[in-house]
Structures are given as C-alpha cells and as structure tokens.
Chains A and B, each alone.
Chain A
C-alpha cells in the first residue's frame, strides 16, 4: 500500500484516540489514550521515513506517560460533568465549521506531498556529507547547519526544568506549611 493510505489510517486512529481521551472518565485510561496518540504519531514518522524523529517521539512519549501516570493516576481529581448550553454549542460549531472551510482554501495552495517549496534542503542532501563529515544528515542539519536552533531548544529545556524545580522544590513547600 502507498504511504498516503497508511498515513490517513494513522491520522484517523489519532483523532479517535484524542476524542476518547476527552470523553473517558477514568484518569488512567485517559492517560493511556494520550499514549495511543503519541505512539501513532511515532508510527507516522516512521512511515514518512524519519527514523530519528520516530525514535525521539517514541522514547519521549514513554517518559511522558510514566510521568503522567506517576504524578496523576493516584490523585483524587474531581470529574465534573459538562453541562453544555445550546447557544454555546451553536457558536462552537459555527467557529469550527468556518475554520474547516478556511483551512480547505488554505491547504489548496500548499505544495503537494513530497515536493517541498524550500530549495535549501536539496543543497543539504547533496553536500552534507562533504561539508560536515556526518553520515546522518539529520544530525548534520541539527548540529551543524542549524545549531542556533538547537541552542535555543536546549535553553527551552533548561528553562522548563528550572520552572519545575522552582515550583516543586521541597524547602519552599515546608515554609508555607509551617505558617
């Protein structure tokens, strides 16, 4: 089968998974459905011929699921039944339909599948081995041509970890507890 059909199948699977994630009342099942979405995305990357990205997505999804399960599965979280009003539902449907119609017009002008509009990729594919000495062209792009982006990513990760440690540190919590 061609790649497109597999991609449509995986995308449908992901949409079903995200709807199920929102509708399931049990929090553990909900987290596992998030994992279904992430692992399907990893599979989609694999079908598109991007093993680097598939590996990162696969591994990171597992870590995220472990963190989510450990952090939230045993918590007592109130489940509130949503009460949807009629005018709100109508407004939501109208906005969604208009975004859908607009996106159809927008995606018509996009370049077709597998034919990128950016020409710099061809230069990378042709010269990456000679210019950087790296056999893996993805690594050559990430760590040589586009290393400023990687530096920014590392800064983002550093900031995220700093924020987590600041919010969840023990000393601050103890002080507040003593008051």
Chain B
C-alpha cells in the first residue's frame, strides 16, 4: 500500500507491526460475529473488535491515511442501512409469522454454522452498525481540536 502521509502516526516499528496485526484483529472480529450463535461473543463484541482494528490503523498511520481509503459518508450510510435492515427483518417476521421480529427462517441443525434461523443475519447487521458507529465516534472525538483562546 502506498502511504501518502509518511510523517503522520507513530514510528516505523509500530507501522511495520501494524501491517501484521491489523488484519488478524479484523479477522478475529469477523470470526466472533459469524460464530456468534456457537461460541461466546456475538454481533456487539465482534463489531467492537472490528472497530478496534480500524482504530489500530488510525493510531499507527494517522487519520488521513485511513480517511483516504474509507469514506466517511459511506460509513455513516452503512450504519444507517444496517439499522434499517434490522427493522426490515422485524417487518418480514411480522409479515411471515404474525409477530414483529419473530424468527421466520428455519431453525436448522443444532451446532452447525448455518443454523438458528435469523440470528447469524442479525449478528452481521449489528456488527456493521456497531463497528461503523464506534469508529466514527472515535474518529470525531480523537480528531476534535481544542479551540485556541
């Protein structure tokens, strides 16, 4: 990856280590989300870990490096879209079963990855929402400059 802001962020050691660790953290977050109905974790914990991988990148390389690659508007939109999708899932449940947010998909076989109906889907929506939202909170709070005087 080309770095257009080599003077920002932390030292070369931290940047090199970040290159090896950041995707591990990201993949661990995704693992926690996808296995949310099988092992401890779930959408919220995995979403926070995914947000932490972005935070890791921001701390090591500086915020301009990250903001060159991800779009703030896209992050805002993804968060809102995930929230809408959760409510839409509830409405589909209302249409199919007659109860809002009821499980409208088949339960499947216990202990397998594709089981538990709509729980993995909701976990993924919650992960997108939580990770985008928390990273945006971090971005705005950390890049907020104190006014002089």
Contact = CB atoms under 8 A, between A and B. Distances in A.
The majority secondary structure among interface residues of chain A is: helix
Q: How large is the interface on B (under 10, 10 to 19, 20 to 34, 35 or more residues)?
A: 35 or more
Nearest to A71: B141
A134 B130 contact: no
User: What's the dominant secondary structure at chain B's contact region?
Assistant: helix
A51 interface: yes
B133 A157 contact: yes
Contact of B116 (A66, A76, A132, A154): A132
Nearest to B38: A135
A105 to B, nearest CB: 37
Contacts, number: 137
B87 to A, nearest CB: 8
Interface of B: 32, 36-45, 48-49, 51-52, 55, 59, 76, 79, 83, 86-87, 90, 101, 103, 107-111, 115-119, 122-123, 126, 129-130, 133-134, 136-138, 140-142, 144, 146-147
30 contacts: A52-B40, A52-B41, A55-B40, A55-B41, A55-B45, A59-B45, A63-B48, A63-B52, A63-B138, A67-B137, A70-B59, A70-B142, A71-B144, A133-B109, A135-B110, A135-B116, A136-B37, A139-B119, A140-B37, A142-B42, A143-B43, A144-B103, A154-B126, A157-B130, A158-B79, A160-B137, A161-B136, A164-B137, A168-B140, A168-B141
